[in-house]
């Protein structure tokens, strides 16, 4: 498996994998947020969309299989929501449920942290839903901590928790 920037041919797979990954966390098939989750092209254009891929040669043809993706939100990106000027931010970390347990989420988060460390960020922040327990465990393994004072609500009825990792404390 390796992490690379998403290519145009990856976007349909990223869009559907993200929707599948978030299926338990949306209000059903008519939830308007699904359109945002499926907007891989927008994320690739207006932020940095990264994919975890592995070679798939099961049918005799070598091709890459998209396991998951993450949106890295640099300063000025409209996808950036909670980061301050000296902070990195990522969002929409998603692993296709069919690829769960293969290390894609870990590889994607590690990539984002390494990238922000190289850019000189002090810390990295993210928002998450309260019921995303598996994601919270992943973030805790990296050393992210909750910052309740920064929790927020993008729309009525949706409460988001903020996590932060000070890069000076994070393992490299």
**Chain centre distance of CA 52:** 11
pLDDT bucket at 154, cuts 50 / 70 / 90:
very high
Domains of the chain: 2-166 (3.40.630.30)
Q: 52-61, 139-148, 152-161: which has the minimum mean pLDDT?
A: 52-61
Percent of the chain at pLDDT exceeding 90: 87
Note the pLDDT tens digit of each residue in 3-38: 999 999 999 999 999 999 999 999 888 889 999 999
Task: Look at residues 33, 17, 14 and name the one whose alpha carbon lies nearest to residue 25.
Answer: 33
Q: Supply the mean pLDDT for the chain.
A: 94
Q: What is the model's pLDDT at position 55? A: 87
Note the pLDDT tens digit of each residue in 73-115: 999 999 999 999 999 999 999 999 999 999 999 999 999 999 9
Q: What is the model's pLDDT at position 171? A: 62
Identify whether the C-beta of residue 3 lies closer than 8 Å to the C-beta of residue 108. yes
Going from the C-alpha of 40 to that of each of 43, 52, 70, 76, 119, the distances in angstroms are 5, 14, 10, 18, 24
- Average pLDDT estimate for 141-150: 98
Residue 40 has pLDDT above 90, yes or no: yes
pTM summary value: 0.93
Residue 172 has pLDDT above 70, yes or no: no
């Amino acid at each position: 498996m390796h992490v690379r920037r998403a290519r145009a041919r990856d976007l349909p797979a990223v869009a559907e994998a993200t929707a599948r990954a978030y299926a338990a966390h949306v209000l059903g098939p008519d939830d308007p947020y699904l359109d945002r989750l499926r907007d891989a092209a927008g994320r690739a254009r207006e932020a940095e969309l990264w994919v975890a891929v592995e070679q798939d040669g099961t049918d005799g043809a070598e091709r890459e299989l998209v396991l998951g993706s993450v949106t890295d939100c640099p300063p000025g990106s409209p996808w950036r929501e909670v980061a301050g000027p000296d902070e990195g931010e990522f969002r929409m970390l998603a692993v296709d449920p069919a690829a769960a347990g293969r290390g894609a989420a870990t590889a994607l988060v590690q990539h984002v942290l390494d990238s922000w460390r190289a850019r000189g960020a002090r810390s990295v922040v993210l928002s998450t839903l309260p019921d995303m327990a598996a994601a919270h465990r992943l973030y805790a393994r990296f050393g992210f901590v909750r910052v309740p004072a920064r929790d927020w609500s993008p729309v009525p009825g949706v409460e988001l928790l903020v996590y932060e990792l000070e890069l000076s404390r994070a393992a490299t």
